[in-house]
Amino acid sequence: MYDVYEIRKQFPMLDGNKKMQGKPLVFLDNASTTLKPQCVIDATNRYYAEMTANSHRGDYDLCYFMDVEVAKAREAIAKFVNSEVNEVVFTSGDTEALNLVAYGYALKYLKEGDGILISEAEHASNSLPWFRIAELTKCSIYFINTDGRITVGQVEKSLNKHPNIKLVSIAHVGNVLGYRVDVKAVAKLCHRHNALICIDGAQSVPHLKTDFKDLDIDFLTFSAHKMCGPTGIGALVAKEKLLNDMDPFITGGGMNVSFKNDGTYLLLEAPAKFEAGTLNLAGIMGFRAAVEFLSSIGMENIEEHEKELHAYLLDKMGNNEDVIIYNKDNDGSILTFNKKGVFAQDEATLLNSKGIAVRSGQHCAKMIDRLLGTPATVRMSTYLYTTKEEIDVFVENLLNGGDILDAYFND
Query: Under the rule (CB under 6 A), what is the footprint of ligand PLP?
Result: 93-95, 123, 125-126, 171, 175, 200, 202-203, 223, 364
Helix (H) or strand (E) holding 378: strand 377-381
Single-letter amino acid, residue 261: N
Pick 10 or 125: Cβ nearer ligand PLP: 125
Spatial contact of 354 and 21, defined as CB atoms under 8 Å apart:
yes
Smallest Cα–Cα separation from 238: which of 188, 197, 279?
197
Pick 66 or 237: Cβ nearer ligand PLP: 237
Pick 267 or 364: Cβ nearer ligand PLP: 364
Write the CA distances from 201 to 211, 233, 333, integer angstroms.
Answer: 11, 14, 15
Cα(221)–Cα(105) distance, integer angstroms: 14
Residue 87 carries which DSSP code? G
Q: How far is the CB of 368 from ligand PLP (least distance, A)?
A: 11
Buried b (16+ CB within 10 A) or exposed e, 338-364: bbeebebebbbebbbbbbbbbbbebbb
Single-letter amino acid, residue 6: E
Measured in degrees and rounded to the nearest 5, phi and psi for residue 116 equal -120, 135
Smallest Cα–Cα separation from 329: which of 193, 174, 220, 189?
174
Q: How far is the CB of 385 from ligand PLP (least distance, A)?
A: 19
Cα(124)–Cα(128) distance, integer angstroms: 6
Pick 29 or 218: Cβ nearer ligand PLP: 29
Pick 125 or 397: Cβ nearer ligand PLP: 125
Q: How far is the CB of 50 from ligand PLP (least distance, A)?
A: 28
Residue 11's CB: how many other CB atoms inside 10 A? 20
Find the catalytic residue in 39, 190, 198, 364. 364
Contacts of 299 by beta carbon, 8 Å cutoff, 6+ apart? 207, 208, 209, 210
Alpha carbons within 13 A on the beta-carbon side of 193: 26
Pick 76 or 202: Cβ nearer ligand PLP: 202
Please say if 63 is a catalytic residue: no
The rounded radius of gyration (Å) of the Cα atoms in the chain is 22
Pick 232 or 254: Cβ nearer ligand PLP: 232
Q: How far is the CB of 132 from ligand PLP (least distance, A)?
A: 15
Q: How far is the CB of 362 from ligand PLP (least distance, A)?
A: 12
Q: How far is the CB of 174 from ligand PLP (least distance, A)?
A: 7
Write the CA distances from 256 to 44, 53, 228, 244, 264, integer angstroms.
Answer: 27, 20, 32, 14, 11
Helix (H) or strand (E) holding 27: strand 26-27
Q: How far is the CB of 330 from ligand PLP (least distance, A)?
A: 14
Cα–chain center distance at 300: 18
Residue 60 carries which DSSP code? S
Residues serving a catalytic function are 364
